[in-house]
Amino acid sequence: MRVLSGIQPTGRFHWGNYFGAIRQYIELQQGQEAYYFIANLHALTTIRDPETLRRLSWDAAVDLLALGLDPDRAALFLQSDVPEVSELCWLLMTGTPLGLLERCHAFKEKKEKGITADAGLFTYPVLMAADILAYDADAVPVGEDQIQHIEVCRDLARSFNHRYGDVFVMPKAKVLEHAAKVPGLDGGKMSKSYNNTIEIFEDPKAARKKIMRIVTDARPMEEPKDPADDHLFALFALFAPPDQRAAMDATYRRGGFGYGEVKKGLADLAEAYFAEARARREDLEANPKRVADVLAAGAERARRKARQVLDRAQAAMGLKVDRAP
């Protein structure tokens, strides 16, 4: 099985990104071929400042490596370092009905809000399809918000294969566990768009301050509480080992505790949880050449694969004219 996914460098990674996506990417690198890329071409639809894009793309690579992405197992690269994908995107675009793209949420939502969309946002799903098909990926781990895009990819692959012969491998979405479930400081979904995030590599003191600000209810301390509908407990449970989680579960049901204690416990757990990654991150920051080498090697490996698939697609479409027909 070949696994592939992309993550946009549109902000520093937060706990939602980690538990919703990155942790699973890292687990999936075991035992199968894996390709992970930083989707900087997709990010161009929202980030227009070159310095910001460069900084966030670099930080994304360093963060992923620090969190355990192993470049000997998974190819890690920048999307834009594989130009074959952009060419494949054009080939796919010539067979993409406009209606299919008009139905995609990202575009529909902007249009409904009266925001003028550009062609990049409109054709975003086609580039994503090219990303996936260029590597013959079988499994694409994504959050629930991306499933529609995988369906578009499958539609495009199906109609291409129907018209031109079997060129593309049919990919499947692998919906991530915990996706869309990590709550933020206000109890809603953690997302940079809601300004309610705690970043993975935030300074521990600043993170602790944010944790102390997590919104809680005003029920009396003595009252027993149901851990299942408490977002502070949900966060605690993500970090706590099973015995500590069970003990906190019992404390909630019993009542007679303050949310402040839970927050303090959460801050301690989170700090310890990411301590090793933080140390690895510092090493990587002191050794930027290593990061640059990883990205270059990842891109080379990815390009080799993408070239083969692009050759197949070009030949099937009648683009190779190297001898008399």
Phi/psi of residue 39, nearest 5 degrees: -80, 70
Stretch that binds ligand TRP, among 125-133, 232-240, 263-271, 287-295 (CB under 6 A): 125-133
Cα–Cα dist 229/225, whole Å: 9
Alpha helices in 103-215 (DSSP H): 105-112, 119-122, 124-133, 147-164, 204-212
**Residue 24 binds which entry of ligand ADP, ligand TRP, none, CB below 5-8 Å type-dependent:** none
Active site residues: 110, 189, 192
Q: Which residue is nearest to ligand TRP (CB)?
A: 6
Nearest to 35 by CA among 168, 156, 171, 222: 171
- The tally of CA atoms less than 13 A away on the side-chain side of residue 133 is 36
Choice from 2, 23, 73, 181 touching ligand ADP (CB under 6 A): 181
Q: Which is nearer to ligand TRP, 42 or 303 (CB)?
A: 42
Contact 150, 171 (CB under 8 A): yes
Choice from 33, 63, 84, 131 touching ligand TRP (CB under 6 A): 131
By three-state DSSP, how is residue 221 classified? coil
**Exposure string for 106-135, b = 16+ CB within 10 A, e = fewer:** bbeebeeeeeeeeeebbbbbbbbbbbbbbb
**Residue 195 binds to ligand ADP (criterion: CB under 6 A):** no
Q: Which is nearer to ligand TRP, 25 or 252 (CB)?
A: 25
**Residue 132 binds which entry of ligand ADP, ligand TRP, none, CB below 5-8 Å type-dependent:** ligand TRP
Find the shortest distance in angstroms from Cβ 149 to ligand TRP: 6
Applying the rule CB under 6 A, the residues between 78 and 97 that interact with ligand ADP are none
Interaction site with ligand ADP (CB under 6 A): 7-8, 10, 16-17, 20-21, 142-143, 145, 178-182, 189-193
